[in-house]
Amino acid sequence: MTKKTAWTILLIACFLAILILYTNGIPGLTSNQAAVQQDLFAAAEKAQTLWARPALMDGAGRDFSIFDEAELLSRLQIGSGSSNESGNDRELVNKNGTYSVEIHSESSISIRGVPAGRGEEMVLTLNRNGNNDGWELYLNGELE
């Protein structure tokens, strides 16, 4: 095998390795996306409990709009090790990603998560369904 052939084989092997990483997803990125999704659903569960708890018991009293977004985000306790590293009290950051909340009405909020590193933003919208007195969860616009 000549030196030129060896370099050609090495170049092809590197190209194939990079191609495989990008088509199958980079392991750290995929796990961050899964962790952010898990954080979002855990926060939605806390939001439902907070919404139902009477205001006299430090809850929302069935009205998210009694909180400002920074306070609601803080009460959702998203992920372990969360902090306001960005200096913005409307964002929480942990090892998985960055989170924020938007209050739409007394019974509807969106929780936004952006995975650490390179990942697409995820939005979990939580709506109280008046018809059956339950909750509807939409992840990136898709009913869960």
Cα–Cα distance, 41 to 27 (Å, whole number): 21
CA distances from 17 to 8, 9, 12, 28, 43 (A): 14, 12, 9, 16, 37
pLDDT score recorded for residue 26: 54
| Residue with token string 């369904």 | 129
What residues does 92 pair with on adjacent strands?
A: 99
Q: Are 136 and 143 contacting, i.e. CB atoms less than 8 angstroms apart?
A: yes
144 residues of the chain, pLDDT tens digit each = 677 776 777 667 766 666 565 555 555 556 888 999 999 999 999 999 999 999 999 999 999 999 999 999 999 988 766 676 656 788 999 889 999 999 999 999 999 999 998 788 999 999 998 777 799 999 999 988
Phi-psi region of 47 (alpha: psi -120 to 50; beta: other; left: phi over 0): alpha
pLDDT score recorded for residue 45: 95
pLDDT score recorded for residue 21: 54
Sheet harboring 108-115: ordered strands across?
92-93, 97-105, 108-115, 122-129, 134-139, 142-143
